[in-house]
Amino acid sequence: MNRPIRAVAVTAMVMFFALMANLSYLYIGQQDYLNERSENRRVADARFGQDRGPIMVGNTPVAQSDAVKDKYNFQRSYSSGKLYAPVTGFYSYLYRTSALEASYSAQLSGVDSSQFWTRLVNTLSGASQRGGTVQTTLDAKAQKAAWDALGGRKGAVVAIDYKTGAIKALVSYPSYDPNSLATHDLAASTKAWDKLNADPGRPLSNRATREIYAPGSTFKLVTAAAALESGLSADSLVDASSYKLPGSSKVISQNCGGSKITLSQALQRSCNPAFARLGAELGAEAISAQASKFGFGTKFLTDIGSAASVFPDPDTLDAAQTAMSAIGEYETQATPLQMAMVAAAAASDGKVMDPYIVEQVLDSDLKVVSQAHPDVVSEAMSSADAAELRKMMVAVVEHGTGHRAQIPGVTVGGKTGTARTSADRNPYAWFTAWADDPSVAVCAFVEDADIPATEIAGGAVAAPIVKAVIEALR
């Protein structure tokens, strides 16, 4: 073989190996990237034609795939679309997936590694591939009660079993119908998507876990916990007289029943001067640390999407800002989920349980492939101090601002909150509470009560919502 022929042969060989290397890289290294590209209609058609498994609430599928006679073979449907949309999310040809439809997509499609042997058996036997089942922790009665009690007002409700962390109800309003996005009529799906995104009410937003708001006086539970951990008790006297913020002309005044009252009475009457002064005395570091122990700064329920609640950086706060932050104002921000977790921690002897919304996943043969287990995230306070805080919260419901949450035969402890964020909008109304029977903590948040601002208060607007959810779980 002469030199020119050898050169051509070597060049061809190098090009051949370069081609093979590139194809191998694309097949292995770029597989996910190529599959996820919106232009890849073949992959999109195959994905959309899968027999996905159901998402269950109790024994009822709230999302399921039904056989249809079109090129996609299966239609995803949602039986109570708006009610469960923040949890199920949607499964759409054009807009992909969200919430559980996204985070458990592999399991619902039957392609997760945990379902390998079931998939192999089905392939060898010639059986059609079916998806797995996602079983949620939600209680249908509690979910419906939360929805009904919210009554078409902007807001959210979260209920947690404080012994385990299982989510029993999670509602956000306004909501949307996932069926409008899952439809095989792609023009209709596009129209629905554009309309939802243009809606000023932001129905695609999950107000329960993905939005943060000023928590108002519900945050006084965190400040009270910090005070108890510092050595105070429910019966310790605190200064409730008018308080001039350090270095400011602003004066916080309120008739709290005397210039010297107990810490329990201060919480019962939601006394702003007492808690603002207490916050400044405890200091930003102590309150920030206490908030972190309750879960501020951490994202929970990431399988449906979440935001971390925020207490301002203590290094940036002066005494006046610390005082305002201690009563849930200034830059303190929280999700309804987080404030439910604060009440839950008080009820569970100070333990913060990791919240979860999926109880178990089953394969297509209904064999359990994964099971949730209760997990303690942190200890927010000692058992003794948690008992003190519970006693104080019970007084709020039995004798204070939370009296509308009273339920005969049930011990309920709670805290009201009303947060004004600007002069041109109505205040937020909050109520977070726990009950001894059932063992549940509930937070109700109303973003817009649609009544005169002077009539808005957490006890009047949000406490009855919490009561309705607790009663539904009995």
Amino acid (one-letter) located at 211: E
What is the pLDDT, as a whole number, of residue 308? Answer: 98
What is the pLDDT, as a whole number, of residue 34? Answer: 52
Residues 12-60: tens digit of each pLDDT: 777 777 777 766 665 555 555 555 555 555 556 666 778 899 999 999 9
Tokens found for residue 267 = 């919480």
Angle at 193 between CA 36 and CA 133, to 5 degrees: 60
Question: Do 99 and 304 contact (CB within 8 A), yes or no?
Answer: yes
For residue 244, the surrounding DSSP H or E stretch is: strand 243-244
- The DSSP bridge pattern shows strands 412-419 and 368-371 to be unpaired
Return all residues near 176 (Cβ < 8 A) that are at least 6 apart: 81, 82, 85, 196, 203, 204
Tokens found for residue 329 = 């104002």
The stretches in the chain having pLDDT less than 70 are 1-2, 7, 22-47, 112-129, 422-424, 449-458
In Å, how far are 191, 254, 291, 315, 345 from 282, measured between CA atoms?
54, 21, 13, 14, 21
CA distance 368 to 360: 7
Catalytic residue among 77, 217, 264, 306: 217
For residue 306, the surrounding DSSP H or E stretch is: none
Tokens found for residue 455 = 């009539």
What is the pLDDT, as a whole number, of residue 124? Answer: 52
CA distance 400 to 394: 9
What is the pLDDT, as a whole number, of residue 378? Answer: 96
Domains and CATH numbers, the chain: 216-358+374-472 (3.40.710.10)
Annotated active-site residue 205? The verdict is no
Beta bridge mates, 440: 161, 435
Please, where are the H alpha helices in 230-294? 263-268, 272-282, 284-294
Residues 83-121: tens digit of each pLDDT: 999 999 999 999 999 999 999 999 998 886 666 556 555
